[in-house]
Structure 1
């Protein structure tokens, strides 16, 4: 008979604990439901914003001259120096000479680099790049933007315009608002189910992977010890095992569900993209929502499934002109062209005017027109004037390299060159113990598995399947 009173007393003692556990479980369920609701509301708001911005983009690209005239007026109103009252685009182009980026830096900042434009000054193109880019990315990779599907590995974001609420509820893996890059990497490493990695630029992401290799044991120890978060010894063991197999394909070994890498494109990123695609991020797609410069967003990427580096040049601010690149020379052409005057297949240097200063600045970025969207050109950024490749002091210009590679591909029956990258061997593991050289990566259509004979044709031109990069080979 004494058993029942004892059981009743034990139950009475356990009731507060059970109630607390049930309350906690109910609270966790409510929080999970609320987070899911916020995510759905945020996504609905984002889709609505993207629909509105797509309509505005359609209107501006259908009426390009009016849009560029309006963009120029906005730039002139914000110029921080006295200027003449220009009434139209022709007067503006006739009265102001072209300047180079180096000249603009000296005049504006006493030879200091131009400061990046603030978020408030980026113009509508930055908002369009963000909202349209997110929707396009979700269409191409439907599970990437699910809760916990994406992690940013750098303090800077690839999305040009930070979104207010409800954009913040489209949460990434990681500690929100952290100023510690190591914390971002640890949060990502603790999440094996990631489907996308984000970084400000490809160069920054390259630094992250180099640091991961150098500090791998320390990071694994932190994960095993639960610093921060709960201890995850099994995940730490997976990290150690993945690092032991070397850099090639490391990202997919760490995150088997990974699909795409998102970075913001800008001048000087091609070598980092080629290196990442050849080693750490081998087998992954790369997506950039925009091509940016210090003056703002210059190009929009609306098709993640297309080859990396294709952008629509929008007619809004900053004001963009196109300077024809003369074949075989970098001399200045007689005059610039507007967006509607661009010809498919031709190459142009970008000339930029923003609202921070009244200058027509030659950026040095050269594009090739590959298509048309309404009345605006779709371009591929192919090289920068004055930028060279050099492993032994030879200083090969990017334009000369691209030209030589194009001649070599022309000797491969049925091959079409879609994209290419050239990496100095010093940042690739395949160069260990070998003389300095270049490694060339090509995306081809119509040809797979390059033969030694075809590779030799690249060497003979003195350059150092669908969208399938060919294996690297030294120059």
Structure 2
């Protein structure tokens, strides 16, 4: 048997070369070779993903042992980096010796560093696992979407946490070699009407792409017609022009009639962009994220593309993960955490990750709700970030509570569609002089050009309905009426450019819903139109 295997390995390359030479034309040879590379890559990916799936199943069935091993690896990593661990690798001993640290404190200690520390050890493996399993489950749910030439990425950043290693790179056809700029990527995608998958780094980046496409659609169509770059495609340019004339609703499917799936990487503050895209430009399409990224690392895996967007498995590997109970939008009075196997369905917890370099147990501020279990590991949805709560008089208006109230209010504004929003406490802009402290709310809308007092009153009513503490403070006059400002098109794109320009900006960039810095708030204030 071994002899036959060796003989096959020796004969296979010359046989393939002979078949390639027998093909009638160079185009046919290239097409056949690309198809062969694609098949070989999928075979390799299937094997690698099956191995990762077996490891994941094993670790989630014995989650206590898996977390103990993850902690041991963290301690070994700290020892190698010159930070010798104190005590044993026992979880309870580790928790007693290393107190919890808030992400805000780390930010202060690092001179305003936006990113909380995460583990580099093991993150490469976690990134690759999310990518391999994500591609596999996406292919299983939509078998035809990952065929050769069916994928295009329209942003320089990729939604897949890890680049594919050789020989899997034949599958990475989302961005052509040498094509890196966002304009060139979008132009290449527009030239290909048969796309089935559209990729972008994050949903907010994709929202910016569609807003720019809608604003400058005529120039894009002319570029396709002129063949800049590539061969001129006048018929395709005419198709693009006709699609753009139909308006934003369903634009993606008019541009690419075979399109089925939009792939972006989920992280904090992306839900609003996903909702706006799904209601307008990407109406009728499935959204998929291979994982959830927080503080620069992948902390959740998406194994269920057929389920509603936003369900993730918390794996038991590195980074070592703990869960801190949260009650009614605030942290508990104690710092007593639970491990993954102890998470209770329906309960909310703040994520706590341990950095193996410095053994920092960091409370990220990301709050998850447990909705189920896979073996012994929790299946969760990310609901809000503690650092994005509003509190001008101690009312502690949580991120998800405010966002839901705003969505209900906009739903009562005839013709309006919410694209993006940000809040600022009045003290940041010094706008409370002569009045009670209040919220300054900046919104970008589609379908409404001016805000009336009636529109603004409806938001305040929705906020009072959503938060009893806010309602009580409003009744007593301790908190003033929320002031709503409509900003012009492109305002939030300018804000995101200002955010990503910061040297410490993480990827994916978490979209803030509450601004704490006056200079960023003034970016919005200067663009108010109503």
TM range (shorter): 0.7 to 0.9
Aligned residue in 2 for 1:373: 374
User: Could you tell me how far apart the structure 2 residues matched to 1:51 and 1:24 are?
Assistant: 35
- For the residue of structure 2 that corresponds to 1:265, the secondary structure is coil
Q: Is residue 54 from structure 1 mapped to residue 53 from structure 2 by the alignment? A: yes
Query: Mind listing any 5+ residue stretches in structure 2 that lack a counterpart?
Result: 1-20, 410-417, 422-441, 468-530
8 Å contact kept, 2:154–2:200: yes
Give me the TM-score of the superposition, normalised by structure 1: 0.79
Aligned residue in 2 for 1:172: 173
Q: Is residue 27 from structure 1 mapped to residue 29 from structure 2 by the alignment? A: no
User: Could you tell me how far apart the structure 2 residues matched to 1:254 and 1:438 are?
Assistant: 35
Q: Is residue 185 from structure 1 mapped to residue 186 from structure 2 by the alignment? A: yes
8 Å contact kept, 2:325–2:332: no
Aligned residue in 2 for 1:36: 35
Q: CA deviation at 1:161?
A: 1.4
8 Å contact kept, 1:122–1:295: no
Between 23-32 and 147-156, the greater mean CA deviation after superposition: 23-32
Between 423-432 and 225-234, the greater mean CA deviation after superposition: 423-432
8 Å contact kept, 1:407–1:461: no
Q: CA deviation at 1:406?
A: 13
Query: How many residues of Structure 1 are paired with residues of Structure 2 in the alignment?
Result: 412
User: Structure 1, residues 345-367: CA drift from partner, whole Å, max 9, x if none?
Assistant: 11111111133432111111111
Aligned residue in 2 for 1:451: none
**Equivalent residues in 2 for 1:198-237, closer than 5 Å:** 198-237=199-238
- For the residue of structure 2 that corresponds to 1:222, the secondary structure is helix
User: Could you tell me how far apart the structure 2 residues matched to 1:435 and 1:25 are?
Assistant: 70
Q: CA deviation at 1:395?
A: 8.9
- For the residue of structure 2 that corresponds to 1:282, the secondary structure is coil
Q: CA deviation at 1:292?
A: 1.3
- For the residue of structure 1 that corresponds to 2:94, the secondary structure is helix
Q: Is residue 297 from structure 1 mapped to residue 298 from structure 2 by the alignment? A: yes
8 Å contact kept, 1:324–1:333: no
Give me the TM-score of the superposition, normalised by structure 2: 0.71
Aligned residue in 2 for 1:64: 63
Cα distance change of structure 1 residues 111 and 241 upon mapping to structure 2, 3 Å threshold: same
8 Å contact kept, 2:118–2:354: no
- For the residue of structure 2 that corresponds to 1:213, the secondary structure is helix
Cα distance change of structure 1 residues 239 and 403 upon mapping to structure 2, 3 Å threshold: closer
Q: Is residue 432 from structure 1 mapped to residue 481 from structure 2 by the alignment? A: no
- For the residue of structure 1 that corresponds to 2:387, the secondary structure is coil
User: Structure 1, residues 109-152: CA drift from partner, whole Å, max 9, x if none?
Assistant: 32222389798851432222111110100111111100011111
User: Could you tell me how far apart the structure 2 residues matched to 1:134 and 1:437 are?
Assistant: 48
Q: How well do the aligned residues superpose, as a CA RMSD in angstroms? A: 3.3
Aligned residue in 1 for 2:465: 461
User: Structure 1, residues 257-295: CA drift from partner, whole Å, max 9, x if none?
Assistant: 111110111112111111211221111111001011235
User: Structure 1, residues 301-357: CA drift from partner, whole Å, max 9, x if none?
Assistant: 001000111000000001111010013534444401000100001111111113343
Aligned residue in 1 for 2:151: 150
**Equivalent residues in 2 for 1:72-471, closer than 5 Å:** 72-79=71-78, 80=81, 82-87=83-88, 88-107=90-109, 109-114=110-115, 122-327=123-328, 329-388=330-389, 396-401=397-402, 423-424=420-421, 426-435=443-452, 461-462=465-466
User: Could you tell me how far apart the structure 2 residues matched to 1:257 and 1:184 are?
Assistant: 19
User: Structure 1, residues 134-184: CA drift from partner, whole Å, max 9, x if none?
Assistant: 010011111110001111111111111111122110142542243211111
Between 84-93 and 61-70, the greater mean CA deviation after superposition: 84-93
